[in-house]
Chains A and B, each alone.
Chain A
Amino acid sequence: GQSLEQPSEVTAVEGAIVQINCTYQTSGFYGLSWYQQHDGGAPTFLSYNALDGLEETGRFSSFLSRSDSYGYLLLQELQMKDSASYFCAVRDDYGGSQGNLIFGKGTKLSVKP
């Protein structure tokens, strides 16, 4: 079966660093995406890793290890507005389209003052 595992909740304080892990088991794999979703809002794209290593985009970084079927999202200098749910998603070849994403259940990040 296909599965993605990530922690359900994480709490951190403003200004801190937090890491959200994601392990996956899927039939195909083209890359790992991360999405942010505020309560009541739509998911928005944050980052993507197709190859092993670290990708940095401002305060956010994402890491992938294909051999370990593992990735993480690193959020630095946390701000209150970072309180949201974060989803990892594997780009799979589901249905043969090479375009479909399989989403994890999400990690709810709460940033405290």
Chain B
Amino acid sequence: NAGVTQTPKFRILKIGQSMTLQCTQDMNHNYMYWYRQDPGMGLKLIYYSVGAGITDKGEVPNGYNVSRSTTEDFPLRLELAAPSQTSVYFCASSFSGEGSYEQYFGPGTRLTVT
């Protein structure tokens, strides 16, 4: 099992550019999540999905979009990148409901917007 994989590992964007962060999991988890982590801070939930075709906003969704067409993939789209989106982005997955206390994280994408 590869677990949760994310690409790219690093990216530098100019203000106003767009990009998609890729996330794939091979554990057949229904639940998937996108977080951002700013330096010295905890993780903030951007979007989450409880299954293919179902997504919902987390705490900090502005400036982002997601889709979930398959169980395995959960891409995060940044439109019109802004310096405030400079952060480390983690994708995670978990079993449903009661099992969601244990989330499996990908290695992260370090994004800089200049």
Contact = CB atoms under 8 A, between A and B. Distances in A.
A99 interface: yes
B43 A87 contact: yes
Contacts of A84: none
Nearest to A33: B101
Interface range, A side: 20 to 34
Given A42-B107, A95-B48, A99-B31, A48 B43 contact: no
B90 A98 contact: no
A71 interface: no
Nearest to A87: B42
Interface string B38-65: 0011111100101000001111000000
Given A42-B107, A95-B57, A103 B42 contact: yes
A102 B40 CA distance: 16
A104 B101 CA distance: 15
Contacts of A87: 42-43
Interface string A70-113: 00000000000000000100010011011111111110000000
Interface of A: 4, 30-31, 33, 41-45, 48, 50, 87, 91, 94-95, 97-106
Interface of B: 31, 33, 35, 40-45, 48, 50, 56-59, 90, 94, 96-98, 100-108
